[in-house]
Chain A
Amino acid sequence: MSTMSSEVVKSSRQDHTAVKSSLWTQSMRKLRKNKLAMSGLIFVILMFLACFVGPLFSPYTDGKINVTAMNKAPSLKHWLGTDMLGRDVMTRLLQAGRISLTVGLASMLLSVFIGSILGAIAGYYRGIVDQVIMRIADLLLTIPGLPILFILGALLSEWKVPVDSRMYIVMLMLSFVGWPGLARLVRGQMLSLREREFMQAAVVLGLRDRRKLFNHLLPNLFPLLIVVATLSIGGAILSESVLSYFGLGVTPPTATWGNMIDSANNVIDFEKHPWLWIPPGFAIFSTVIAINIFGDGLRDVLDPKHKK
């Protein structure tokens, strides 16, 4: 008897994956046809390559202070000019990109991880577990995000966190304010999935909770999670830039796009040396817009209910 039922489950699971993989390839084919989304993806990939590989080809990576070449306007030698310490802005921009992109990516991963696990648990078990998790989420959503980030940022500065590890704490901070919204979304999806026929079939088959949760429910959330995750990278990059601009995120000498724009706080640099702060602004803008366009294309193919 038990072998029989496990046979049934197995074969149904095989069908499941077969259907899923064809659905997946179909979605990817559709995505490839979406020119706007694909150009967004290509731009993001190029940006990653430029930031992580580009500096290897630059003669100015040592970040040494060069007194003879301070505050030079863009030229053939220094494409985006030099800063007040004579460092090449182009090279710094790409090195800063490494940090900004990493922070964006990592804090997205972390908040999606926390948010989806907590949201899934809340939506699946309901009752008191749901109450506790969602009330905490409500609470965090009630308090404005920027002041919280400011306080956390101030803590960082006062606790003399080593410059190198500030980056990791910024990631933690961003995922701390990022997870409640995600948890809410995942929980809602979970509640509606529970009621669907295939879940009732799983209940009838007598599958265990953990199995139901991880083998049947979470895979159905993947399309949505992929879309939301993609779109939240852009948001995380923006938040990091705000924090770093106000000196509460990653601080110099480690460069990020946000803290490079900080030079605009100096009236002379702001008015006379725009090459110091305009390029990082456009780097943030173009990266985020490319991510958002790609994420929207993903949404069209993976989450057809939202197709508009």
Chain B
Amino acid sequence: MSTYLTKRLIYMVLILIGASMLIFFLYALTPGDFVSGNLKMSAERKAELRDLYGLNKPVFERYLIWMKNALHGDFGYSLAQQKPVLTLFNEYIWNSFLLAIVSTFLTWVIAVVIGVISAYKQYSWFDTIVMIFIFAAMSIPSFFIGLFLIKTLAVDLKWLPPGGMMTTGSNATGWAYVKEVIHHMTLPVVVMTLLGVGSLTRYFRSNMIDVIQQDYIRTARAKGLTERTVLFRHALRNALLPAITLVGFELPGLFGGSIIIEKIFNWPGIGQLYMQSFGSRDYPLLMGFTMFIAVLTVIGTLISDILYHLADPRVKL
């Protein structure tokens, strides 16, 4: 177990170093920077600022400085917002997390319930409808469904607010505040759930179909157990077990926000922050964000691996 873990950790670090280089040089390639994009400044002032921010140094040296600071927990200073990158992350990330955690929860609950039922009733009309729904959910362009729902439910029918987290100018507190946020997050959560639920339902459906055909399910039935016991005690546990590996893969999604959804619904999350910073070429923030997701991805993969080994009594490290 421990040698396996050490190997995994070393590999993780190597991958992250590679990723950091790739990210840094990709952004370095991107033309324009925050200073030269600003039309109001004089040429001298620009040169002065470029010098101050170290933008004139060679790329590789800039990379080393960036990495050194990053290792000390300093991801730089957002030029556009004049705040440390980490402070900004902390301001925006929890809004993203709120959307993600609610929609992830809904996605899993719906996927497990529908997937299991439709596997149990394979080839029934219910199953056919579920399959069509799965294909539909997997084929929707995310930004379009967002726009479409805003247009129909928010603009035309006025059932829900079209975007943002609070009504403009509102200073509600306490319960009123909570209610207002829930009201605003309904649409983005619906869209995010819709986008994720297709493939996950399909996953649980096919797992369950596999499990139902196993010999031990036949044994359970031969023992005269009720269908309920067969399904929930014997089948479901086996069908859910492999899904534990997916938990880790959800990690980047939980904290990384969704660039598209937050942009469409004007949600003050980290994805939205990224979009803004992209427009103003605020590199410290862009690099910090991309690196942050890369770290989450790597950690998530590791968690998945460990969970899988812990959950299945047959697998030994």
Contacts and interface: CB of A to CB of B under 8 A. Distances in A.
B144 A288 contact: no
B13 interface: no
B31 A142 contact: no
Most buried by B among A138, A158, A291: A138
B26 interface: yes
A84 B17 CA distance: 50
A280 B23 CA distance: 34
Contacts of A288: 139, 141
A270 B29 contact: no
Nearest to B31: A158
B209 interface: yes
B147 interface: yes
Given A151-B26, A158-B31, A292-B135, A270 B151 contact: yes
B144 A293 contact: no
Contact of A284 (B141, B155, B298): B141
In order of increasing CB-CB distance, the 8 nearest A-B pairs are A281-B144, A158-B31, A289-B139, A308-B206, A288-B139, A144-B293, A139-B18, A147-B290
B181 interface: no
Nearest to B289: A147
Contact of A155 (B31, B143, B151): B31
A144 B278 contact: no
A142 B19 contact: yes
Contacts of A296: 135
Interface string B7-44: 00000000110110011001101111000000000000
Contacts of A284: 141, 144
B260 A292 contact: no
Nearest to B263: A246
Range class of the A interface residue count: 35 or more
Contacts of B293: 143-144, 147
B252 A144 contact: yes
B289 to A, nearest CB: 7
Contact of B144 (A159, A261, A291): A261
B278 to A, nearest CB: 6
B141 A139 contact: no
A138 B15 contact: yes
B22 to A, nearest CB: 6
B198 to A, nearest CB: 10
Interface string B236-250: 000000000000000
Interface stretch (A59-67, A179-187, A207-215, A237-245): A237-245
B102 interface: no
A278 interface: yes
Given A146-B259, A158-B31, A308-B210, A238 B141 contact: yes
Interface of B: 15-16, 18-19, 22-23, 26-27, 29-32, 135-136, 138-145, 147-148, 151, 155, 205-206, 209-210, 252, 256, 259-260, 274, 278, 286, 289-290, 293-294, 297-298
A240 to B, nearest CB: 10
Nearest to A154: B30
B143 A143 contact: no
A164 to B, nearest CB: 21
Given A143-B294, A150-B278, A154-B278, A281 B148 contact: yes
A147 B138 CA distance: 22
B26 A270 contact: no
Nearest to A248: B278
A277 interface: yes
A261 B26 contact: no
15 contacts: A139-B15, A139-B22, A142-B19, A142-B298, A143-B22, A146-B259, A147-B274, A148-B26, A158-B30, A158-B32, A241-B143, A241-B144, A242-B142, A261-B141, A278-B151
A144 B274 CA distance: 13
Contacts of A292: 135, 138-139
Contact of A281 (B138, B147, B286): B147
B30 A155 contact: yes
Nearest to B258: A146
B30 to A, nearest CB: 5
Contacts of B23: 143
Nearest to B29: A155
B131 to A, nearest CB: 8
Contacts of B294: 142-144
A109 interface: no
Nearest to A40: B135
Interface in A151-208: 151, 154-155, 158-159
A285 B139 contact: yes
Contacts of B22: 139, 143
A136 B22 CA distance: 11
Contacts of B143: 241-242, 245, 261
Contact of A144 (B30, B32, B260, B297): B297
